[in-house]
């Protein structure tokens, strides 16, 4: 695990070009220069030079971040922004009373037991010797709501491998609990050893976090639920004509599957919303610590959703579901917000293409 001071040269790569300001949802909403990576790097550089103290004020600005990674994508200096913020946060929070309480609540004993308590035990029927071997990373929410497991049970030609994974670690990265993140990472990495074709996820945040366990050229292949259903050419059929729109989570690398997936759904029309990849404004801890701001970003998103006139808005991240619900709350004619698997399992008939209809 790297120390904050190890990022000195990375932080100095920031040329203060300000391109991150054009894409940062927090900066767009607040116009506050300390809220975007450029401003945060000025402060963190000051800390590493000994001119500033890493204190509660700087931590407040570290918390003013959705960890959406949009600034990293656009940064011409290629800075891994979120890694630096997480490490700086750990450096500050580990020695505070509040941090110690949070770290205790996030321990395996407490956090792990709460997830276990709410989990519904649903082992997917084993189909050994299938043409594809897929490791299914359920994630915490997948353990509680087993719709994806219900869908996957239909694939007798595929070997779905389930393992006793812990949380991917994204809540711990957000809270600065890098010790706990390292713990779940090494547990999960051990279980990801072996022979398989893909890791399947139905949560964009889980997938991007697990990808972060690996070096880029050493990363196993991933497939998300939507891509998998398109690859297998699965058809769905709704009795009623429905209009759906899709919110692309910030952590979802590629949303190309969505149009093909909806094309495979009889009686369902796809209505793309304007800026479908704009952040929903939630991001777990961010919404708790910055309630007004989080709501304002969610409300903007909600306006684009409402313009589509959709019956459903679907997405592939549990945190985004909360953000979309937050923005749409109290709005007239608001569509229902569902995860992709919740939406698809509403239909009685879903089949591999050879058996469809």
Q: Using CB under 6 A, list all residues that contact ligand SF4.
A: 14-20, 23-26, 36-38, 41, 65-71, 74-77, 79, 81-82
Of 11 and 135, nearer to ligand SF4 (C-beta) is 11
Return the H-helix or E-strand segment holding 309.
none
Residue-wise DSSP of 205-247: HHHHHHHTTS-GGGPPPEEEHHHHHHHTTEEEEEEEEEEEEE-
What is the spatial distance between Cα 255 and Cα 73, in angstroms, rounded to a whole number?
Answer: 16
CB atoms within 10 A of CB 71: 24
The minimum distance between CB 250 and ligand SF4, in angstroms, equals 7
CA distance 7 to 107: 27
H helix and E strand count, the chain:
19, 9
Nearer Cβ to ligand SF4 (30/154):
30
**Chain centre to alpha carbon of residue 124:** 24
- Residue (1 or 17) nearer to ligand SF4, CB: 17
CB of residue 283 vs ligand SF4: minimum separation in angstroms? Answer: 8
68 vs 255, which CB is nearer to ligand SF4? 68
CA angle 170, 171, 177 (to 5 degrees): 100
Closer by beta carbon to ligand SF4, 76 or else 253: 76
Query: Which residues share a beta bridge with 224?
Result: 201
Detail the DSSP E strand segments found in the chain: 132-137, 158-162, 198-201, 222-224, 234-246, 265-270, 312-315, 336-339, 350-352
Query: Which CB sits closer to ligand SF4, 19 or 356?
Result: 19
Minimum CB distance to ligand SF4, residue 249 (Å) = 13
SS3 152: helix
For residues 219 and 192, the answer to whether their CB atoms sit within 8 Å is no
- Closer by beta carbon to ligand SF4, 189 or else 288: 288
Give the shortest CB-127-to-ligand SF4 separation in angstroms. Answer: 40
User: Residue 229 Cβ, how far from ligand SF4 at the closest point, in Å?
Assistant: 30
* CB-based contacts of 218, cutoff 8 Å, min separation 6: none
CB-nearer residue toward ligand SF4: 16 or 292:
16
């Amino acid at each position: 695990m790297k120390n904050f001071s190890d990022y000195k040269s990375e932080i100095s790569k920031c040329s203060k070009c300000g391109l991150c300001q054009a894409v940062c949802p927090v900066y767009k909403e607040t116009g506050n220069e300390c809220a975007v990576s450029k401003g945060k790097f000025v402060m963190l550089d000051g800390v590493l030079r000994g001119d500033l103290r890493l204190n509660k004020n700087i931590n407040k600005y570290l918390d003013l971040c959705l960890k959406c990674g949009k600034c990293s994508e656009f940064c011409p200096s290629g800075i891994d922004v979120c890694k630096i913020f997480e490490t700086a946060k750990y450096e500050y929070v580990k020695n505070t009373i509040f941090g110690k309480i949070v770290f205790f609540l996030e321990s395996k004993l407490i956090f792990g037991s709460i997830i276990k308590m709410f989990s519904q035990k649903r082992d997917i029927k084993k189909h050994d010797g299938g043409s594809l071997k897929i490791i299914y990373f359920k994630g915490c929410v997948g353990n509680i709501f087993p719709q994806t497991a219900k869908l996957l049970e239909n694939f007798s030609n595929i070997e779905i491998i389930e393992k006793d994974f812990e949380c991917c670690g994204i809540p711990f990265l957000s809270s600065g609990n890098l010790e706990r993140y390292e713990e779940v990472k090494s547990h999960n990495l051990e279980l990801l050893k072996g022979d398989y074709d893909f890791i399947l996820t139905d949560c964009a945040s889980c997938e991007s976090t697990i990808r972060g366990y690996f070096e880029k050229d050493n990363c196993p292949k991933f497939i998300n639920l939507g891509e998998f259903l398109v690859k297998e050419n699965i058809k769905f059929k709704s009795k009623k004509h429905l209009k759906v729109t899709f919110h692309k989570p910030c952590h979802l690398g590629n949303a190309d599957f969505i149009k093909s997936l909806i094309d495979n759904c009889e009686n369902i029309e796809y209505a793309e919303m304007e800026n479908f990849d704009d952040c929903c404004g939630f991001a777990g801890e961010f919404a708790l610590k910055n309630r007004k701001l989080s709501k304002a970003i969610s409300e903007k998103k909600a306006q684009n959703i409402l313009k589509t006139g959709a019956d459903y808005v679907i997405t592939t991240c549990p945190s985004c579901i909360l953000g979309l619900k937050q923005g749409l709350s109290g709005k007239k004619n608001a569509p229902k917000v569902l995860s992709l698997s919740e939406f698809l399992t509403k239909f009685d008939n879903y089949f591999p293409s050879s058996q469809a209809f």
